[in-house]
Structure 1
Amino acid sequence: MSAICRFIHAERANYTISLLCRVTKTARSTYYAWVAGRQAHEKRQQADEVLAHEITVIHLASRGNYGVPRVTAALRRQGRAVNRKRVARLMRERGIAGNSRRTGRRGLTKADTGAAPSPDLVGRDFTAARPGTKIVGDITYIPTAEGWLYLASWLDLATREIIGYSMADHHRAELVVDALDMAAGLGRLEAGCVIHSGRGSEGRTMSP
């Protein structure tokens, strides 16, 4: 029946719904019920995409530390009446996990960067009044058949958008720098902006 309803839906621009239902011997109520179910499914998918984006923002702002419980709590503090199981499903589907689950992997350290951590200029204030003035970065670890793939990304705290990213088979300092260069090259950083990362360099002021 689902295949017939899909056929009717595809041909509705060429023929009337009544004719299509009569020819396929399908009740119009059946077709309209299928359409309602399809629309509800698409609406749920869209809502999942919006929530997944918010989860990504919170996870990145936490420097990759937050797992399901803390992400759920952060969403609820923002007024989101979310179910923990739904958050867990979306994080699992997108490979998002807190640091406590990252076994056998390590981030950029003082030895990797060759420099001592900079002063923390962000504190716990993950907000910004204007785009390009305060950004946070993190590295995501992705398992592949050929080993770990590392994704460095920078998020603008004003717009909550990823403004620069870089991928490589290593997690040396240049991975983060390449992602930052992308953001600067696209004109997404203002002079004197604050950049913040939990991977060896807590925060610094930058003049692009």
Structure 2
Amino acid sequence: MVKDAGPDDIAETAGTAAPESERFSITRMARLLKVSTSGYYQYVKRRATTMLTPRQQRRADLEVKIIEIHKDSKGTYGSPQVTAELRARGEVVNEKTVAKIMAAMGVEGISPRTFKVKTTVVDPQASFPADLIDRHFDQGRLDAVWLTDITPGESRA
């Protein structure tokens, strides 16, 4: 055992709850390892920036799974369907979280087409009533022309 280096066996310090940096001083360890203290702190800083926090790791995992599910659906699934698929795979996730991640990645589902009413197809052979006023609805006097609207929709009352 080197003088002033601390215990040889980690089992000797297992009963203490202090982290390694509190059990041994950084300057003492740097001197024994023949490295500079500034080099040690640069290493710690680099390591902290390259390591993901648990939250960042979870988000990265979700991003991969969301992209996979979106590709499997041929780009049609939005956040509700992706959330349902993630939950079916055993993930505990909120739809708002999935929507936020999808928006950040620029991934969006395809909205279904809106329903378009298909009216009667005009038969070119059919006979139509004659247009007696030739589409001129203002005849210059009251009660000369009466008309109505038979299209479905909201009432204007």
TM-score per shorter chain, which class?
0.3 to 0.5
Using the size of structure 1 for normalisation, the TM-score is: 0.30
Which protein has the bigger strand share?
A: 1
Question: TM-score if structure 2 supplies the norm length?
Answer: 0.39
Q: Which has the larger radius of gyration?
A: 2
